[in-house]
Structure 1
Amino acid sequence: MDWNGPDDPDNPRNFSLARRFMGIASVTLLAFVSAFAGAIYAPAQTAVMRVMNCSSEVAMLPLALYNLGLAFGPIVGAPLSETYGRKAVYLATTPIFMLFMIGGAVSKTISALTLCRFFAAVFGSSNISNASATILDYTHDSERGTVLAIYYAAPTVAATLAPLVGGLVMIQTGEWSWTQWAPVILAAAFYSPLIFTRETYKAVILRRRAMPLGAADVNQTIIGARFRNLFIILIQRPIHMLLTEPIVTFVSLYNGFLFGLLYAFVISVPWVFEKYYGFDKTAQALSYLGVTVGNMVAIIPHALIDRYFFLPRLQSWKQVHEPSLKMPPESRLVSALGGSLLLPPSLLILSWTANFQVHWMVPIVFQGFSVFSCLLVYSGTNLYMMDTYGPLYGASASGAMMFSRYILSCAFPMFTLQMFEELGEGWATTLLAALTLLMAPIPWVFWIYGSQIRKASKYETTL
């Protein structure tokens, strides 16, 4: 089964611009809320320690295990999407996410709070894992780069904006529970427009269209085959690709570390500015502005690269090659090349300007440069990996990357504060800079040797 030609009205890429915009905005904002709900807890940790009478390590668990829960997105979202479609997954899992967040807000013990946030993340994670696939459903090759760059920024902007909002909420209310109510309010607001969108998943649309034509038996056969393949798609293949495919291995390692680095900022920023600059609670919350602005500004070079570098190359390629022959994906790496070079020195300058108490504006600016660089690498390498493996294996590659990303962002909060307290800002951030320097050659190796690496792949790739 396939579309009835390139102008099929059921094809999401042929929807009106307004309908496509509403659909993309809805899923992007829901992904934003799922990430926002994790990091907004960070400023509430001290209050939770006091109210629930627990240690700082235990009080950090609701943040760490929320990130662990996000790693299960493909496992929750994919089986439901295969059967019921992407829209049904959003409509079903988002209210459950909200209920568990409400449970967290009214929790009286640290164990109840931790469990509620973990399960909220499990159900909220499908918003993140399904959103990129939904955007692919809506967009043509020529517009995908810019749209995905904005989407990729959403979880990272959320992770840096959330502590700022959470800190201000704590200052105004003094109640840690409001850091849990805020995501519920946002999710309810962003959930409503989604109700009016249409299904975008091609397989489900075609199955539904075939049923009135007497294809119910085919429908059941397809569903059975898809369920038999779910274990391969969700578990076996991502693990195999993570262990045997150099592109998946190193993109997952690099991006997982960068996401962990982002959460190191979430934990360390208020500590650094209180210890070295004597900031009060309000100023500590506002010190997240550097990383938040850095995330947002990173969208601009992506749009420029897409408009003035990638699209001209794509058009030239189509003029001289068969339409079925895909352009080599290395052009997607341009932003990652720049980000990989900018990140280590940005972290190094940040570390020692704060350590020697240079004017507070300098480390805030270089925090922004650091996160700006992270997003350039993250988006560029993700687009490269997705273009390399295409629709057939891209979901498994993305699942492997997403799992490593959230496993590392679960681990980083558990040791970041202790590392900064023991080593100080200078050496702790220098250590992180050294690790990013070790990883900096990764996109350059793919840029130079990508063709040979792809030819050696055990999976179908863009050659």
Structure 2
Amino acid sequence: MSASSSTTAVLQTLRKDAEKIIDTTPNKDSFEVYLDEREDPKNLSTLRKWIAVVVISTAALCVCCASSVAAFTEEGLMRDFHVSKIVSILSISFFIEGLGLGPLLIGPLSEVYGRNTVYRVSYSLFLVCNFPVAFSPNIVVHLIFRFITGFCGSAFLSVAGGSITDMFDDETVANPMAFYTICPFIGPVLGPLIGG
């Protein structure tokens, strides 16, 4: 047996082994989720899709409303906690900082655990953490929980767009997205009306 024929035999064996290890057919991306017919949100009824859009949009409206609801509380905070006006305004600032920083953690968590889980946990924490804000014994507790409520509520600003585009196809996504998009802009307008 010559050296070239033994080299060819070894190369053919290696090629066969490599073909077994490496699938040459185009495979699915390991990071992409493939859903069957009953799990695909695009296959939901139109009514159920719109109910989900209204729930998500209303939650976004509530979170943004909570950002500005404290606009007229500064005098009460100054009086009750004996702080300056600048410190009392921090209540709104800390909430907005929480809204800004929350998506850095909540966005990736929604990819790992799913959007519904993130929605449920974050809105539950948002609701529960508003009680310490209302009944805080001092300004430090008040400001910390304002930040936490903003952080928890940010899920409805960072994850909602993906939820809506998952449910609707390209031809029908415009109206639900427009409805959702207007809600975070209405919330800060309603906040002072409710809080004042």
TM-score by length of 1: 0.34
Structure 2 matches for 1:225-236, cutoff 5 A?
Answer: none
For residue 33 of structure 1, the aligned residue among 43, 46, 62 is 62
In the alignment, structure 1 residue 163 sits paired with structure 2 residue 169: no
Alignment pair present for 1:20 and 2:20: no
Report if aligned partners of 1:76, 1:122 keep a CA contact under 8 Å in 2: no
Overall identity of the aligned pairs, in %: 28
Which of residues 166, 176, 180 in structure 2 aligns to 1:137?
Answer: 166
Q: Which position in structure 1 is the counterpart of 2:10? A: none
**Quick one: which of 64, 67, 77 aligns to 2:93?**
64
Confirm whether residue 128 of structure 1 aligns to residue 157 of structure 2.
yes
Letter in structure 2 aligned against 1:74: P
Q: Aligned partners of 2:35 and 2:154: how far apart in 1?
A: 30
What is the match of residue 46 of structure 1?
A: 75
When the two chains are superposed, the root-mean-square deviation of aligned CA atoms in Å is 1.4
- 1:406-460 CA-to-partner distances (Å, cap 9, x unmatched) read xxxxxxxxxxxxxxxxxxxxxxxxxxxxxxxxxxxxxxxxxxxxxxxxxxxxxxx
Q: Deviations over 1:161-207 (max 9, x none)?
A: 1101111xxxxxxxxxxxxxxxxxxxxxxxxxxxxxxxxxxxxxxxx
Q: In the alignment, which residue of structure 2 is the partner of 1:78? A: 107
- Contact conserved, 1:73 with 1:128, CA < 8 A, in 2? no
Q: Does 1:98 align with 2:127?
A: yes
Cα separation, partners in 2 of 1:9 and 1:50, compared to 1, 3 Å: same
How many correspondences in the alignment? 164
1:71 and 1:63 map into 2 onto residues whose CA distance is: 12
Whole-Å Cα distance in 2 between the matches of residues 61 and 148 of structure 1? 32
Contact 1:43 1:163 in 2 (8 A): yes
Whether the 8 Å CA contact 1:76–1:123 is kept in 2: the answer is: no
Aligned residue number for residue 179 of structure 2: 150
Alignment-mate amino acid for residue 190 of structure 2: L
Matches within 5 A, 1:427-446: none
- Give me the TM-score of the superposition, normalised by structure 2: 0.79
**Mapping of 1:8-407 within 5 angstroms?**
8-167=37-196
- Say which one has the larger Rg: 2
Question: In structure 1, what is the Cα distance between the partners aligned to 2:171 and 2:102?
Answer: 28
AA aligned to 2:126 is F
Residue deviations 1:53-106 (CA, integer Å, cap 9, x gap): 111111000101100110123222222212211001011111111121111111
State the alpha-carbon separation in 1 of the partners of residues 35 and 129 from structure 2.
39
Structure showing greater relative contact order (alpha-carbon pairs closer than 8 Å, 6 or more residues apart): 2
Q: Which amino acid aligns with 2:66?
A: A
* SS of match in other structure, 2:148: helix
Instruction: Note the residue ranges of structure 2 that are not aligned, 5 or more in a row.
Output: 1-27, 29-33
**Structure 2: distance between partners of 1:37 and 1:90:** 17
